[in-house]
Amino acid sequence: MTETSRPAPDSLTIRRPDDWHLHFRDGATMRAVVPHTARQFARAIVMPNLSPPVTTTAMAADYRERIRAAVPAGLDFTPLMTAYLTDDTDPEDLARGFADGVLTAAKLYPAGATTNSASGVTDIRRLDAVLERMAAIGMPLCIHGEVTEAEVDIFDREAVFIDRVLAPLVARLPELKVIFEHITTEQAVDFVDAAAPQVAATITPQHLHINRNAILVGGIRPHMFCLPVAKRERHRLALRRAATSASVKYFLGTDSAPHHRHDKESACGCAGIFNAPFALESYLAVFDAEDALDRFEGFASLNGPRFYGLPVNEERVTLQRVATLVPDEVDGGDAAIVPFHAGETLGWRLVG
């Protein structure tokens, strides 16, 4: 050890974090996965891409009840609901749901971009009235930022979305609060860095850990496949710099997306990585490697509520530097799910 180096801390206590982007599904799968998130997080922004999608305030209120019923006794967890935007979304219903506290945000899926996005938006200009209303009432817009045109290479779809859709949108409605979700490219980091404070981004653990080689080297690895797909190494490094930069524009959003093992290990495997069981441990491994443990609380617990205009959590949690083996699979209700980092040992553990 040199004179100036400090010993690495063995534990970290921070305000209880929130997950600002998450998939719970419904039914038996939801009941199996909710406890993992409720154990780790105080709140989560719940994605509405069920089948059929959660498109109205009434549907979101019903879904919220089903989630609440799945939270284990003794855990304090608040689901924050989103409405799935379609070409026919009613701005009145959205505004009422936001005013009543049922809806926290609305979600834009370009039609066909990802899992259960077939009813998504075919052309963002069809949403002009909805987005103007959201901007006026301060309702945040969560965006899956990928174009869907067949001629655009899948690794370019996020960068092209910035040029064709996101930059014009932000220019048209500068007061609209936009969360550019699960960003995967240095172009996205550059865009968010340069944008007004109304534009923020979430970053997943997988996009901080893996580049596209993880999906294809040595064979096709379906459990490393999600959308937006992981990109080249230089993009991963840009995301790590952004997450650990202390910029308040970046915050935690796992995009944990449970799919049963047989739906992933298939001729047409589903997109999505289930990282909920060890999400904090996974993120912390990155902040530790980047020598940025002191920046973890901002990313995990402060920047999200600040952006959404919600109070920060008062409760504290502690993570300890303890070897933690991630199991090969976990219960997924009707069938097993393979978690992110399956079979690996992570260096931290949430102890309470």
Give the catalytic positions in this structure: 255
Q: Which listed residue (14, 19, 21, 23) binds ligand DOR by CB under 6 A? A: 23
Q: Which listed residue (75, 111, 214, 271) binds ligand DOR by CB under 6 A? A: 271
Which amino acid appears at position 138 of this protein? G
Nearest position to Zn ion, beta carbon: 255
Tally helices (H) and strands (E) across the chain. 14, 15
**Residue closer to ligand DOR (CB basis): 45 or 95:** 45
Count of residues binding ligand DOR (CB under 6 A)? 10
**Which of ligand DOR, Zn ion, none lies near 115, with the C-beta cut-off 5 to 8 A by kind?**
ligand DOR
The C-alpha atoms of residue 264 and residue 215 are separated, in whole angstroms, by 12
Q: How far is the CB of 291 from Zn ion (least distance, A)?
A: 29
**Residue closer to ligand DOR (CB basis): 181 or 297:** 181
Which amino acid appears at position 169 of this protein? L
The C-alpha atoms of residue 20 and residue 245 are separated, in whole angstroms, by 18
Contact letters (x/-) for ligand DOR, 207-236, by CB under 6 A?
-------------------xx---------
SS3 at position 264: helix
**Measured CA angle at 168 (ends 166, 174), to 5 deg:** 90
**Residue closer to ligand DOR (CB basis): 225 or 283:** 225
114 lines the binding site for ligand DOR (CB under 6 A): yes
- Rg for the chain (alpha carbons), in Å? 19
The C-alpha atoms of residue 27 and residue 9 are separated, in whole angstroms, by 41
Neighbours of 93 (CB within 10 A): 17
42 lines the binding site for ligand DOR (CB under 6 A): no
Which amino acid appears at position 247 of this protein? S
Q: Which listed residue (15, 31, 107, 144) binds ligand DOR by CB under 6 A? A: 144
111 lines the binding site for ligand DOR (CB under 6 A): no
Q: Which listed residue (78, 115, 148, 320) binds ligand DOR by CB under 6 A? A: 115
Buried b (16+ CB within 10 A) or exposed e, 49-58: bbeebbbbbe
Q: Which helix (H) or strand (E) holds 317?
A: strand 316-320
Contact letters (x/-) for Zn ion, 241-260, by CB under 5 A?
--------------x-----
The single-letter DSSP state of residue 18 is -
SS3 at position 41: coil
Q: How far is the CB of 229 from ligand DOR (least distance, A)?
A: 8
Query: Which residues are near Zn ion by CB under 5 A?
Result: 255
Query: Which residues are near ligand DOR by CB under 6 A?
Result: 23, 49, 114-115, 144, 226-227, 257, 271-272
